[in-house]
Structure 1
Amino acid sequence: MAASDDPRPAARRARDAARLARIFGDTLPETTADERDPDSGADSGSDDWLRSQVPPHHG
C-alpha cells in the first residue's frame, strides 16, 4: 500500500513508523558491505566476540 493510498493521516503514519522502528530497529544497514572497511572487525562473522564474553570459570 502506497502512502497516497493509506487512509491514515500523515501524523499517524509517522507515529506508527517511529513506533515500528523503536520496536524492531532498523531493518537495513546504513551502509552496504562493500562500503565498510574490511579491517574494522565489525560484523566479521567470527566467534571472537562471543569467546571474549565467556566468563573465566567457564574456561
Structure 2
Amino acid sequence: MTDPDDADTASSAAAAASDTAAAASEEAARRRRLAEVFGDVLPEGSSDEPTPTGRDDRWYEENRPPHHGG
C-alpha cells in the first residue's frame, strides 16, 4: 500500500520543476524581446570591473614600492 503523502510529495516536486522550467522559459523570452527592441546595447561586464590576475594581496604587499610605506 502506498502512502498518500508520498504521492503528494512527488506531485509537488514535479509541479515545482515545471514551475522552474516555465520561469526559465519566460525569462529567456523576456530577454529575447528586450534584445529585439533595444539590441545588445550593454555588454554583460563593464570595463571598470577588475579582471582576475591570479595574484593575492600578499603578492602586492611583497612588491609594494618603498615610497608607499609599510
Report if TM-score (shorter chain) is over 0.5.
no
Larger Rg: 2
Q: Please give the TM-score of this superposition, normalised by the length of structure 2.
A: 0.28
Question: Could you tell me the TM-score, scaled by structure 1's length?
Answer: 0.33
Which has the larger share of helix? 2
